[in-house]
Amino acid sequence: MEAIRPVSRTLLRDRAYQAIRDAIVAGEIEPGAVVRDAEFAELLGLSRAPVREAFSRLVDEGLLESKPQSYTRVTAVVAADVRDAAAVVGAMHELATRTAVPRLFAADVETMRSANERFAAAVRTGDVDAALVADDELHDVLVRVSGNRAAAATIARYTPLIRRLERRRFGEGGNCRSAGLHDQLIEACGAGDTDEAVRVTAEIWRGLAALVDEPTDEPTDEPAHELAHPAVDAPVLEADH
């Protein structure tokens, strides 16, 4: 059967990375929790090698920290880290918006409008997962149309650091980003007004400053706590050998 081929190690590593990253961002694995490759390998139905590679990537991206011969654990949500990530991600969104607006078709603007309707509905009902998915879909239109792969990669790398804090604040009664600002962005895009679209994009990301200025976790050298029950959805794939 030519269509059936072994799953590559790269794919296993990426799926392990995505599963663990998503659990950290969602708060299912709390800051300070120790993570072990053997434990996650069993949970995900993989060998330890792709899990170790995923851990290494998450350390590089700031979601895990490792002390040699001691532990690997989930990092704290620290204001300075979120502020730095937001500055970089915001700049990349502004760049993508400036490039994308002249290239947008009516269907692209309608996709953004539909995503914002779902975003506003999710905010009203307090559904943080649906709100953030819709928010991503809206902004991803501009990133995709811009065709800037470097900007897209940078956004994908640093957005999870921001999402952890957004989720926390949302759960405490915040409403994430303003659907009203999204409306302004969509109208500017529909009118082909690049400068206004970039201005609104910058305002959206400045809105994160209110989240960052509130108290967050602080880094600690205290012994990390154990993760009793890793909350990670296993990807549907065969274990590598």
Which domains are assigned to the chain? Answer: 7-76+217-241 (1.10.10.10), 79-212 (1.20.120.530)
133-168 burial code (b ≥16 CB/10 A, e <16):
ebbebbbbbbbebbebeebbebbebbbbbbbbbbbb
Residue 166: the pLDDT is 85
Residue 43: the pLDDT is 92
Contact by Cβ (8 Å): 13, 48: no
- pTM score, whole prediction: 0.81
Instruction: Give the number of other Cβ atoms within 10 Å of residue 20's Cβ.
Output: 26
Residue 24: the pLDDT is 96
Positions of the chain with pLDDT lower than 50, given as ranges? 1, 174, 223, 235-241
Instruction: Give the number of other Cβ atoms within 10 Å of residue 46's Cβ.
Output: 26
- Residue 88 falls in which region: left (phi positive, over 0), alpha (psi -120 to 50) or beta: alpha
For residue 110, give Cα distances in angstroms to 95, 113, 173, 184, 191: 21, 5, 29, 14, 13
138 closest CA partner among 174, 108, 100, 160? 108
101-110 pLDDT, tens digit each? 999 999 999 9
Please give the Cα distance from 163 to 93 (Å, whole number): 15
Residue 236: the pLDDT is 37
Please give the Cα distance from 162 to 86 (Å, whole number): 7
Residue 237: the pLDDT is 40
70-89 pLDDT, tens digit each? 899 999 999 889 999 999 99
